[in-house]
């Protein structure tokens, strides 16, 4: 009989995610995939999965599950303790779960996204090379739908190579904090801002607003950013923050009407008519996914050399993670 | 015209061809991005041509930012005086204009509209100088449109009307976006037409609905066998007005799996088009025949 788990309660915004899909952005299909790629990979490695097996990404509030098969489970990323048949277990640790067990999760005390990896991975079919759920396009995940009570999630065959390193040491976990500096490369349409608007963006402290999801993160609390006045170019729209609709880089920051910055994340709308003023560097995208509403951010401008150095450091962290499990 | 190159983080190169929309800008972007695709370079992840800009996602571990930039600037120079011709597809999209569903949705969100006492179609007809809805629909369906960008959400085409700029239909977006738009609504915002590929939020004025699936992950239509998304930048679209009865028949065909679209290959030449758009369009659409 095939292995599976049953969803007793879906939680707040639980979805099936993996490394995401590439090569379809020109058709409006964004990469999707785990918002915190590092933690998703750590969770998989803890249970002996290939690091890109599909997992459950939990946002702010976890699901309730019934294990219909014996399996090994680990939670990585945000601090959200598993409670198995009433007993609390640590995060970032591989736990053997017996068939018939009832698994729920504690309140997410730090971070915004926890990854539940289960041995064998969640074995829904791949769509365009990924099992990741993309809500707006209704593809991936379980039949392209939001997870709901009673859903049965198929599990793949476990590799059988469970590691002796059952616990992830502190230095190999994603650092979590209620305040984070997010490094960005200025550019795109930042010349449309006034000098004062540009200074304000980097000087002010911004809080994550309640509208923060896989599509984009909205920030508030900073002063409004002034754009330079201009004659609207044909097709652009009348607001000074409007442009002729253009592609949006993943991680790009737009400020509609100069009021609230929005960072596009992995389920981004692929284009639109608002001027983008900077782009989060690839190494810091995971940090955004771990920010709850009301966490605060400062945007730090870096140049391309610094962005590439940070990218190399991120890859070194991943290499260290893999080396730990290969040892 | 010199292009503006700017990086979006360490993985995206964004190129603005011009601040204003024009067919010439769109064509330049298509020419350069097609040239890049043909070069088949390692490390290029996605090539996104758009209205008056284009964007490349690249892997800087495989192709450096400087190499990519130099390559694209090289193509810009190489193609500066190239004839703007393109082999593409002409796709006929049936549209049930002035349908009950977009009218109902428009009525539901009327307080977010510039003209709360009107409908989207009547408003668009009036501000574009047409005597009424019928004349407006005749203009909307009378000229071809270029798919100048695909995106926002999966499979949504932005389309640019192939007429002289002074004849182009222009309407503002809703004052505040709606939270609902029927699936397959034919909309318009600024100078762009669109077809909503999925139900959801939207700010464009709503003129009608098409029965044709344009994004279907199950790929049940013959024309979606190769890709779950119908439209590609560079496609030429013609809207064909249909009646309620024709719309219902088409929906039955969609359900039965027998629905098809009229799609044929065409060549487009920008210089010839600009010389006499009306005559060129008649020939392109085969209306003279």
User: Which residue of B19, B200, B215 is in closest CB contact with A236?
Assistant: B19
pTM of the model: 0.94
* pLDDT, position B201: 86
- A174-231: pLDDT as tens digits: 999 999 999 999 999 999 999 999 999 999 999 999 999 999 999 999 999 999 998 9
Instruction: For an interface test with B, give the residue of A238, A249, A281 to mutate (most B CBs within 10 A).
Output: A249
Distance (Å, whole) CA B194 – CA A217 = 26
Query: B150, A25: Cβ pair inside 8 Å?
Result: no
Query: A234, B6: Cβ pair inside 8 Å?
Result: no
Distance (Å, whole) CA A185 – CA A7 = 41
Residue pairs between chains A and B whose CB atoms are closer than 8 Å: 171
pLDDT higher than 80, residue B182: yes
| CB neighbour list of residue B155: distance below 8 Å, 6 or more residues apart | A27, A28, A29, A137, B197, B198, B214, B215, B228, B229, B230, B231
Query: Which chain B residue's Cα is nearest to A25?
Result: B46
Distance (Å, whole) CA A113 – CA A103 = 18
A256 touches chain B (CB under 8 A): no
Query: A234, B156: Cβ pair inside 8 Å?
Result: no
Return the structure tokens found at A11: 């939680």
A235 touches chain B (CB under 8 A): yes
The count of C-alpha atoms lying within 13 angstroms of the C-alpha of A55, restricted to the half-sphere facing its C-beta, is 41
Query: Which chain A residue's Cα is nearest to B56?
Result: A249
pLDDT higher than 80, residue B74: yes
User: Which residue of A144, A247, A304 is in closest CB contact with B7?
Assistant: A304
ipTM of the complex model: 0.96
- Would you tell me which residues 208-227 of chain B have a C-beta closer than 8 angstroms to some C-beta of chain A? 215, 217, 227
Return the structure tokens found at A139: 């593809």
Range ranked top by mean pLDDT from A154-168, A303-317, B170-184:
A303-317
Return the structure tokens found at B100: 């009950």
* pLDDT, position B289: 42
B24 touches chain A (CB under 8 A): no
* pLDDT, position A290: 98
From chain A, the residues in CB contact with B175 under 8 A are none
- Would you tell me which residues 78-137 of chain B have a C-beta closer than 8 angstroms to some C-beta of chain A? none
Beta bridge partners of B88: B266
pLDDT higher than 80, residue A165: no
User: Which residue of A26, A139, A187 is in closest CB contact with B217?
Assistant: A139
Residue A239's pLDDT band (boundaries 50, 70, 90)?
confident
- Would you tell me which residues 256-275 of chain B have a C-beta closer than 8 angstroms to some C-beta of chain A? none
Closest CA to A69 of A33, A24, A100: A100
Query: B197, A28: Cβ pair inside 8 Å?
Result: yes
Mean pLDDT over A26-42 rounds to 97
A281 touches chain B (CB under 8 A): yes
Mean pLDDT over B22-39 rounds to 95
User: Which residue of B46, B151, B197 is in closest CB contact with A22?
Assistant: B46
> Which whole-number Å values give the CA distances from A112 to A57, A173, A178, B255, in the listed order?
10, 14, 10, 42
Q: How big, in percent rounded to 5, are the helix, strand and coil portions of chain A?
A: 20, 35, 45
- A243-280: pLDDT as tens digits: 999 999 999 999 988 999 999 999 999 999 999 999 99
Query: A251, B9: Cβ pair inside 8 Å?
Result: yes
From chain A, the residues in CB contact with B22 under 8 A are 234
- B202-217: pLDDT as tens digits: 889 999 999 999 999 9
Residue A238's pLDDT band (boundaries 50, 70, 90)?
confident
Q: Can you tell me which residue has the tokens 């996104």?
A: B48
Question: A133 to chain B, minimum CA–CA distance in Å?
Answer: 13
* pLDDT, position A237: 80
Query: A234, B21: Cβ pair inside 8 Å?
Result: yes
Instruction: For an interface test with B, give the residue of A132, A244, A249 to mutate (most B CBs within 10 A).
Output: A244
Question: B29 to chain A, minimum CA–CA distance in Å?
Answer: 12
* pLDDT, position A163: 64
């Amino acid at each position: 009989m095939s292995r599976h788990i049953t969803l007793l309660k879906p939680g707040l915004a639980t979805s099936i995610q993996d490394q995401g899909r590439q090569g379809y952005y020109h058709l409006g299909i964004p990469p999707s995939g785990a918002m915190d790629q590092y933690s998703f990979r750590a969770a998989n490695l803890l249970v002996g999965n290939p690091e890109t097996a599909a997992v459950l990404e939990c946002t702010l509030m976890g699901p309730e599950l019934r294990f219909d098969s014996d399996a090994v489970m680990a939670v990585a990323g945000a601090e959200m303790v598993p409670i198995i048949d009433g007993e609390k277990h640590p995060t970032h640790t591989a736990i053997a779960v017996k068939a018939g067990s009832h698994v729920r999760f504690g309140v997410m005390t730090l971070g915004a996204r926890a990854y539940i990896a289960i041995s064998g991975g969640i074995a829904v079919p791949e769509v365009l090379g990924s099992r990741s759920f993309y809500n707006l396009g209704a593809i991936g995940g379980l039949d392209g739908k939001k997870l709901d009570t009673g859903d049965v999630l198929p599990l793949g065959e476990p590799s059988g190579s469970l590691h002796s390193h059952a616990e992830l040491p502190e230095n190999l976990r994603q650092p979590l904090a209620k305040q984070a500096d997010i490094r960005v490369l200025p550019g795109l349409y930042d010349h449309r801002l006034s000098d004062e608007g540009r200074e304000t963006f980097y000087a002010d402290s911004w809080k994550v607003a309640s509208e923060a999801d896989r599509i984009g993160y909205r920030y508030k609390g900073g002063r409004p950013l002034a754009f330079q006045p201009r004659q609207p170019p044909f097709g652009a729209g009348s607001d000074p923050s409007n442009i002729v609709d253009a592609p949006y880089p993943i991680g790009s920051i737009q400020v509609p009407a100069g009021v609230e910055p929005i960072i596009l994340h992995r389920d981004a709308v692929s284009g639109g008519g608002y001027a983008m003023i900077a782009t989060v560097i690839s190494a810091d995208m995971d940090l955004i996914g771990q920010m709850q509403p009301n966490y605060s951010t400062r945007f730090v401008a870096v140049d391309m050399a610094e962005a590439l150095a940070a990218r190399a450091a991120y890859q070194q962290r991943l290499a260290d993670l893999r080396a730990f499990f290969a040892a | 015209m010199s292009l503006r190159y700017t990086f979006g983080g360490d993985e995206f190169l964004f190129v603005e061809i011009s601040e204003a929309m024009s067919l010439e800008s769109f064509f330049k972007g298509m020419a350069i991005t097609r040239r890049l695709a043909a070069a088949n370079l390692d490390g290029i992840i996605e090539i996104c041509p758009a209205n008056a800009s284009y964007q490349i996602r690249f892997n800087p571990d495989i192709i450096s930012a400087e190499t990519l930039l130099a390559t694209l600037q090289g193509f810009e120079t190489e193609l500066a005086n190239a004839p703007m011709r393109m082999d593409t597809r002409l796709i006929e999209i049936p549209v049930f204009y002035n349908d009950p569903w977009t009218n109902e949705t428009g009525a539901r969100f009327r307080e977010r509209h510039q003209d709360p006492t009107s409908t989207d179609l009547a408003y668009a007809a009036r501000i574009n100088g047409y005597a009424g809805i019928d004349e407006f629909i005749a203009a909307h369906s009378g000229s071809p449109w270029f798919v100048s960008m695909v995106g926002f959400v999966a499979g949504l085409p932005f389309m640019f009307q192939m007429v002289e700029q002074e004849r182009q239909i222009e309407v503002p977006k809703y004052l505040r976006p709606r939270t609902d738009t029927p699936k397959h609504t034919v909309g318009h915002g600024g100078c762009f037409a669109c077809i909503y590929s999925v139900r959801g939020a939207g700010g464009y004025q709503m003129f009608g609905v098409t029965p044709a699936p344009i994004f279907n992950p199950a790929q049940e239509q013959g024309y979606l066998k190769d890709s779950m998304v119908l439209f590609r930048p560079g496609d030429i679209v013609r809207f064909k007005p249909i009646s309620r009865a024709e719309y219902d028949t088409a929906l039955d065909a969609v359900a039965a799996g027998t629905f098809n679209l009229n799609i044929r290959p065409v060549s487009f030449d920008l210089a010839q088009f600009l010389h006499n758009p009306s005559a060129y369009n008649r020939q392109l659409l085969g209306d003279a025949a």
